[in-house]
A and B are shown apart, each in its own frame.
Chain A
Amino acid sequence: MDFDYQYFIELFASGLTKGSIYALIALGYTMVYGIVGLINFAHGEIYMIGAFVFFLASSLLTVLGLPLWAMICIATAASIFWAGGYGYTVEKIAYKPLRSAPRLSPLISAIGMSVFLQNYVMLGQTEKYLGFPEVIPEFDFLEPFATTFSSSDFVIWMTTVIVMLILTWIIKFTRTGKAMRATAQDRTMAELVGINVNRIISATFIIGSALAAVGGILISSHTGSIHYYIGFIAGIKAFTAAVLGGIGSIPGAVLGGLVLGMAESFATGYFSSAYEDVFAFSLLVLILIFRPAGLLGHAETEKV
């Protein structure tokens, strides 16, 4: 049997797309984990809310009769604003009061928040699948590759790369980014040198949520539908990606996202598509058993 290159490349492209989205969401997890040492379970829900806000805003703007490019810009801005707002508020309500509580408490509170937000959107909007507008136009210059990937794939890759570059710039060179790195290293010391830790934590949640919202918009326009439950599975998978790369490490989250996306794409392509989620979770379990610190992370030793 000879090797089907065309099929392989198609799977590769779809894996890259999936991986980019996972990476975008995983960044939120890993940044929050790096700074407050907490799994923000509600992160997947923020991603879902971002997609819903974009959907509502774009519908409104279409009714008002704005041109496509203006609609995309404004709706994206609205989506980022509200996702950031939800991220900020969730942190203030569910995590901040529990900062010095035992480890289990913020985790349970986070799960509660996740369940709450899911049902909030379900009751506020609908429990049915909604058609998401196709906002990404077909590009003419991609015509020769039309058989292997669509222009929405292309836009997703490009957006991810641009967002990553912006994020790297924020973290490496801005004051807020420096303060974030300092807080991640040692919160008490950061406080002592005059960093407003509460503000930095809020900023982390807002940036993470904004990335999730971008991911949510991209994937929803790619798949063409939204549902209140999409955040849950995407959230767990992105978390898997973050763990895969080494939680707390930003390049790790990107690498983990891509590896997970590829693994899923090839596994579904060559074995069975029904067990897509099973592959991701099995990968998570295997990683945690054999390399708990992840691909790029370093093992932590617990001091007594």
Chain B
Amino acid sequence: MITAKDIRRILLVSGWFMILTFPILGMRVDPLSDNIIWRLKNVMWVGIGTAVLQSLPHLWLLYLSIQAWGIRLWHHFRGTSPHKIVKKKAHRDSLINRVITNPRQRAIVCAVVLLLTIIYPQVVNEYQINIMIMALLYIMLGLGLNIVVGMAGLLDLGFVAFYAVGAYTYALLNLHYGINFWMALPLGGLFAAIFGLLLGFPILRLRGDYLAIVTLGFGEIIRVVLENWTELTNGVAGIVNIPGPTFLGLGLTPSQKILYLYYLMVLFVVLTIFVVNRLQDSRLGRAWLALREDEIACQAMGIDKRRTKLAAFSLGAFWAGIAGVVFAAQNRSVYPVSFSFLESAMILSIVVLGGMGSIVGVIFGALILILLPEYLRELSQYRMLFFGAILVLMMIFRPQGLISVVRRKYDIDSIKAEKKEGGA
């Protein structure tokens, strides 16, 4: 229920936000006449918005109390007791997690999804296919970052650097040596992985927050070098006329090329999912999880911290490198601008929104964050604002992400039941 105190608080907070946003949103200097343009409507909307947001929990409580009152009334007229014995529900996982853990259901869902992805380009136009390729690319990047951040718990803010290394590997090798897409693909991944190792070595000892800053700095270094090393990278002008992927030496029409790239991307994503999935339950994957939870305990258990961390860095970088090669092939050009920190922040939002460590989560995260702004064109300028807000809100309200990861565990009851069956 809303009391007078609550109302006062709501008004106070709304007033505070109106004061806070007053200069930035309410004023603007006209660059020509140096006059002030007042936009007080914006500030008013901020006030109303914060008031509404704050009253939402109160309205919810009001709804609940009305409901409870209604139930009591209902029982009163029927003469039954409102206090019925409620059986305690066993803890149940969410629907998606139940599907993931059940092998039969999982196989069916996977088959349906795969079928849909294969049919998809036949029913939509080229523009849509291109957007989907973009989304698939980000799924791959997200899965790569997921290894580093989600599984190994190393916050990498310069992930885009490896993506850039992959893209420039293809662009440069093609420009100077005429190397084709298929040759560049493993090379791009390899180079990125080497960069991952190079970055990984010096910063192995660093704790979480220092690591974040150093990786961020590394990402910026790569971008600045790409921008300024004009002799090699052609600077901000970028490298253009990069050929797309070839198919057995056959000439393809532009529309066929897009289709081809799409199926290629689907193949890569499926491959990535397969590998990451296998990694998760491998010795290495478990070591990552253990390292994330407690480094010291993990070392005491005999896990080589150095090797495990380096493996995470280089494997994550490898996927980013491959994604970079595909990016260069899709866009036919590379520019340093494409590899700014915001790109890293975007990939991180994908992982955080979906659920750190969860493969299905990352896929959903990428689809939501890439497709949504594409289809809501008028909202696309608010995209980064939205990403920033997602990072904050997810951490506060749902740190495990939309789809939390299911840890493999042994259920003591089922083991007992199995033993009984075996004994009988």
- Known: A60-B27, A63-B34, A85-B19. Is A278-B221 also a contact (CB below 8 A)? yes
Q: How far is the CB of B142 from chain A (nearest CB, A)?
A: 15
Q: How many residues of A contact B (CB 8 A)?
A: 69
Q: A114–B384 Cα gap in the complex (Å)?
A: 11
- Known: A53-B24, A82-B23, A106-B395. Is A114-B388 also a contact (CB below 8 A)? yes
- Which of chain A's residues has its CB closest to B29's CB? A59
Q: A101–B394 Cα gap in the complex (Å)?
A: 13
Cβ of A107 < 8 Å from any Cβ of B? yes
Residue among A85, A115, A285 making CB contact with B214, cutoff 8 Å = A285
Give per-residue flags for A110-122: 1 if the beta carbon is below 8 A from chain B beta carbons, else 0. 0111111111110
Q: Is the Cβ of B391 less than 8 Å from the Cβ of A243?
A: no
Cβ of B217 < 8 Å from any Cβ of A? yes
Q: Is the Cβ of B385 less than 8 Å from the Cβ of A111?
A: no
- Which of chain B's residues has its CB closest to A109's CB? B395
Q: Is the Cβ of A232 less than 8 Å from the Cβ of B341?
A: yes
Q: A82–B216 Cα gap in the complex (Å)?
A: 28
Cβ of A275 < 8 Å from any Cβ of B? yes
- Which of chain A's residues has its CB closest to B219's CB? A281
Cβ of B213 < 8 Å from any Cβ of A? yes
Cβ of B228 < 8 Å from any Cβ of A? yes
Residue among B35, B208, B213 making CB contact with A104, cutoff 8 Å = B208
Cβ–Cβ < 8 Å partners of B208 in chain A = 103-104, 107
Secondary structure of the A side of the interface? helix
Q: Is the Cβ of A85 less than 8 Å from the Cβ of B20?
A: yes
Q: Is the Cβ of B392 less than 8 Å from the Cβ of A130?
A: no
Q: How far is the CB of B356 from chain A (nearest CB, A)?
A: 8
Cβ of A205 < 8 Å from any Cβ of B? no
- Known: A63-B36, A243-B210, A275-B224. Is A123-B23 also a contact (CB below 8 A)? no
Contacting B at CB under 8 A, from A235-291, are 236, 239-240, 243, 272, 274-275, 277-278, 280-282, 284-285, 288-289
Q: Is the Cβ of A285 less than 8 Å from the Cβ of B391?
A: no
- Known: A89-B16, A124-B25. Is A108-B385 also a contact (CB below 8 A)? no
Cβ of B348 < 8 Å from any Cβ of A? yes
Interface-side segment among A2-10, A92-100, A163-171, A194-202: A92-100
Q: Is the Cβ of B213 less than 8 Å from the Cβ of A239?
A: yes
Cβ–Cβ < 8 Å partners of A59 in chain B = 29, 34, 36
Cβ of B121 < 8 Å from any Cβ of A? no
Q: How far is the CB of B231 from chain A (nearest CB, A)?
A: 12
Interface-central residue, B31, B209, B224, B227, by most chain A CB under 10 Å: B209
Give per-residue flags for B264-289: 1 if the beta carbon is below 8 A from chain A beta carbons, else 0. 00000000000000000000000000
Q: Is the Cβ of A109 less than 8 Å from the Cβ of B34?
A: no
Cβ of B205 < 8 Å from any Cβ of A? yes
Residue among A63, A94, A272, A282 making CB contact with B221, cutoff 8 Å = A282
Q: How far is the CB of A36 from chain B (nearest CB, A)?
A: 12
Q: What interface size band does chain B fall in?
A: 35 or more
Cβ–Cβ < 8 Å partners of B392 in chain A = 93-94, 109, 112-113, 116
Q: Is the Cβ of A116 less than 8 Å from the Cβ of B23?
A: no
Cβ of A174 < 8 Å from any Cβ of B? no
Give per-residue flags for B289-318: 1 if the beta carbon is below 8 A from chain A beta carbons, else 0. 000000010000000000000000000000
Cβ–Cβ < 8 Å partners of A89 in chain B = 16-17, 20
Q: Is the Cβ of A285 less than 8 Å from the Cβ of B217?
A: yes
Cβ of A185 < 8 Å from any Cβ of B? no
Q: Is the Cβ of B388 less than 8 Å from the Cβ of A116?
A: yes
Cβ of B373 < 8 Å from any Cβ of A? no
Q: A265–B208 Cα gap in the complex (Å)?
A: 30
- Which of chain B's residues has its CB closest to A302's CB? B296
Q: A128–B20 Cα gap in the complex (Å)?
A: 23
- Known: A59-B36, A288-B210. Is A101-B220 also a contact (CB below 8 A)? no
Q: Is the Cβ of A304 less than 8 Å from the Cβ of B205?
A: no
Residue among A38, A49, A115, A302 making CB contact with B345, cutoff 8 Å = A115
- Which of chain A's residues has its CB closest to B294's CB? A304
Q: A59–B36 Cα gap in the complex (Å)?
A: 7
Q: A103–B224 Cα gap in the complex (Å)?
A: 30
Cβ of A39 < 8 Å from any Cβ of B? yes
Cβ–Cβ < 8 Å partners of B31 in chain A = 128, 130-131
Cβ–Cβ < 8 Å partners of B393 in chain A = 112
Q: How far is the CB of B41 from chain A (nearest CB, A)?
A: 13
Q: Is the Cβ of A98 less than 8 Å from the Cβ of B396?
A: yes
Cβ of B172 < 8 Å from any Cβ of A? no
Residue among A39, A93, A131 making CB contact with B212, cutoff 8 Å = A39
Q: A120–B392 Cα gap in the complex (Å)?
A: 14
Q: How far is the CB of B40 from chain A (nearest CB, A)?
A: 13
Residue among A108, A130, A131, A282 making CB contact with B391, cutoff 8 Å = A108
Q: Is the Cβ of A107 less than 8 Å from the Cβ of B385?
A: no
Cβ of B203 < 8 Å from any Cβ of A? yes
Cβ–Cβ < 8 Å partners of B217 in chain A = 236, 240, 280-281, 284-285
Contacting B at CB under 8 A, from A70-109, are 78, 82, 85-86, 89, 93-94, 97-98, 101-109
Cβ–Cβ < 8 Å partners of B220 in chain A = 233, 236, 277, 281
Contacting B at CB under 8 A, from A193-248, are 232-233, 236, 239-240, 243
Residue among A55, A106, A114 making CB contact with B29, cutoff 8 Å = A55
Cβ of A177 < 8 Å from any Cβ of B? no
Q: Report A's interface with B, CB cutoff 8 A.
A: 38-39, 49, 52-53, 55-57, 59-60, 62-63, 78, 82, 85-86, 89, 93-94, 97-98, 101-109, 111-121, 123-126, 128, 130-131, 232-233, 236, 239-240, 243, 272, 274-275, 277-278, 280-282, 284-285, 288-289, 292, 302, 304
User: What are 7 A-B interface contacts by the 8 Å CB criterion?
Assistant: A39-B213, A82-B23, A103-B208, A108-B391, A111-B391, A112-B389, A123-B381
Apart from A278-B225, A281-B221, A292-B210, 7 more pairs, CB < 8 Å: A56-B23, A109-B391, A112-B393, A113-B392, A125-B24, A233-B220, A236-B217
Q: Which 6 A-B pairs have the closest CB atoms?
A: A112-B391, A116-B388, A115-B388, A281-B217, A109-B395, A112-B392
Q: Report B's interface with A, CB cutoff 8 A.
A: 16-17, 19-21, 23-25, 27-29, 31, 34-36, 42, 153, 155, 157, 202-203, 205-210, 212-214, 216-218, 220-221, 224-225, 227-228, 296, 341-342, 345, 348-349, 352, 381-382, 384-385, 387-393, 395-396, 399
